[in-house]
A = this chain, B = another copy of it.
Amino acid sequence: MTAPSIRARVRAEMIDEIKAIARQHLAADGANLSLRAVARDLGMVSSAVYRYFPSRDELLTALIIDAYDALGAAVEAADAGTTPDDLRGRWHGVFRAARRWALDNPAEYALIYGSPVPGYAAPRDTVEPAQRPPVVLVGILRDGFTSGQVTPPPADELSDPVRADLAAISDLIAPGLPEALLARGMAAWTQLFGLISFEIFGRLNNGLDHRDEYFDHQTRLMADLVGLP
């Protein structure tokens, strides 16, 4: 890797600056991001932005990938910061880290987990970073299973076709994990997403004031569901 030319470095800085301003607009105005407004804030004309992003959707895609990576990094860091054998500690740490990141970055959370933008199809680049949080979750389950701390549910609680589907998924993200346990892990992941979405999108504004404790309680229910000791 040779030293990047001044132009390349300036270009990289420009891209970062555009994304930073765009993130601010996102937080202020929501998903209907105005490329012209971003350009104005940068002191340049809208057509100049097109030197860096071929379209508004491409800019949004870049922000989406960044958001996935930021959430994934936060979750992985939380998991890495706990003692590996303390499964419940890891579990709660991961759940809390995901919620914390979402509460700190609600606009970006809405961007990646809200309704997809109409004509917008998620590019291939987004599927890998999008899998990081659930992979961490099932990683805890796999550790528990291999160490014997977690007893998997009976395999026959799954119908054959579903078990086959889950076996394929298991091969990709958590080889060796029993399908019935993976199914419960996915239930927990679905629950985590639903809990955060309800809170971020204001569906808990009905007198549920102690949200930290409520979240922890639901996290505990899911820990029980997957069989953490």
Residues on A lying within 8 angstroms of B by beta carbon are 29-32, 110-111, 113-119, 122, 127, 130, 157-159, 161-162, 164-166, 168-169, 172, 183-184, 186-187, 190-191, 193-195, 197-198, 201-203, 206-210, 213-214, 217-218, 220-222, 225
Checking B29, B161, B191 against A190 with a beta-carbon cut-off of 8 angstroms, the contacting residue is: B191
A193 vs B127: C-alpha distance when bound (angstroms): 22
Q: Which residue of B lies closest to A127 (CB)?
A: B206
A190 contacts B183, CB within 8 Å?
no
The 9 closest A-B CB pairs, nearest first, are A114-B115, A30-B118, A194-B194, A190-B194, A110-B115, A161-B210, A162-B213, A168-B207, A159-B213
Shortest CB distance A159–B (Å): 5
List the number of copies, as a whole number: 2
Complex Cα–Cα for A88 and B116 (A) = 33
A193 touches B184 (CB 8 A): no
- A198, B190: Cα distance in complex, Å: 8
User: Are B221 and A184 within 8 A (Cβ)?
Assistant: yes
Q: Which residues of chain B come closer than 8 Å to A159, judged between CB atoms? A: 210, 213, 217
